[in-house]
Amino acid sequence: MKKHIVIVGGGFAGINLIKSLKNDKRFRITLVDKNNYHFFPPLIYQVATSFIQASNISYPFRRLFSNYKNVNFHMGSLLKVIPESKTIETDTGSLTYDYLVVALGTESNFFGMENVQRCSLPMKSIEEALYLRNHMLLNLEEAARNKDVTQAQKLQNIVIAGGGPTGVELAGMLAEMGNYIAKKEYPEIKLSFSNLYLIDAMPTLLGPMSETAQKTAYDTLKNLGVKIILNVSVKDYVDSKVILSDGSSIETETLIWTSGVIGREVPGLPEESIGKGRRILVDAYNKVEGTKNIYAVGDICLQLTDENFPKGHPQLAQVAIQQAKNLAENFKRIEDEKVLVPFSYNDKGSMAIISKYNAVVDLPKFSFKGFTAWLTWLFIHIIPLVGFRSKIRLALDWFRLFITNNPSIRLILYPKRNTSKQ
Verify that 185 and 197 share a domain, yes or no.
yes
Regarding whether 278 and 292 lie in a shared domain, the answer is yes
Domain assignment present for residue 317? The answer is: yes
Q: 274: which DSSP letter?
A: B
Q: Which segment of 30-39, 259-268, 325-334, 372-381 scores lowest on mean pLDDT?
A: 372-381
Residue 50: give its domain's CATH number: 3.50.50.60
Q: How far apart are CA 88 and CA 78, in angstroms?
A: 7
In the chain the first and final C-alpha atoms are separated, in Å, by: 44
Q: How far apart are CA 53 and CA 208, in angstroms?
A: 30
Residues 39 and 73 in one domain: yes
Band of pLDDT at residue 419, cut at 50, 70 and 90: very low
The residue segments making up the domain with residue 178 are: 114-259
Same domain, yes or no, for 71 and 146?
no
- Per-residue pLDDT band for 388 (boundaries 50, 70, 90) equals low
pLDDT of 386 > 90? The answer is no
53: in domain: yes
Q: What is the pLDDT of residue 59?
A: 92
Average pLDDT on 370-384 reads: 86
184 with 81, same domain: the answer is no
- Is residue 372, in this structure, part of any structural domain at all? no
In a domain, 49, yes or no: yes
Write the pLDDT tens digit of every residue in 104-156.
999 999 999 999 999 999 999 999 999 999 999 999 889 888 888 778 888 99
Same domain, 101 and 126: no
> What is the torsional sign of CA 321, 124, 236, 354?
positive
DSSP 250-311: EE-S-EEE-S-EEEPP-TTS-GGGB-GGGPEEE-TTSBBTT-SSEEE-GGGEEE---TT-TT
Instruction: Say whether both 190 and 98 belong to one domain.
Output: no
Query: 351 lies in a domain?
Result: no
Contact criterion met (CB below 8 Å) for 46 and 22: no
Domain match, 217 and 265 both: no
Q: Is residue 254 part of a domain?
A: yes
- What does the pLDDT look like over 269-301, one tens digit per residue? 999 999 999 999 999 999 999 999 999 999 999
pLDDT for position 115: 97
pLDDT tens track for 128-142 = 999 999 999 999 889
Alpha-helical (H) ranges within 241-346 are 317-335
For the stretch 53-76, pLDDT in tens is 888 889 999 999 999 999 999 999
Mean pLDDT of the chain: 91
| Structural domains of the chain, count | 2
Identify whether residues 120 and 237 lie together within a single domain.
yes
Q: Are residues 249 and 133 in the same domain?
A: yes
Tell me, what CATH number does 226's domain have? 3.50.50.100
220 in the same domain as 208: yes
Q: Assess whether pLDDT exceeds 50 at residue 422.
A: no
Domain boundary among 299, 315, 335: 335
Are residues 134 and 128 in contact, defined by beta-carbon separation less than 8 angstroms?
Answer: no
Task: Note whether residue 181 is domain-resident.
Answer: yes
Residues 91 and 197 placed together within one structural domain of the fold: no
Q: Among residues 227, 259, 291, which one ends one of the domains? A: 259
Residue 65 lies in a domain: yes
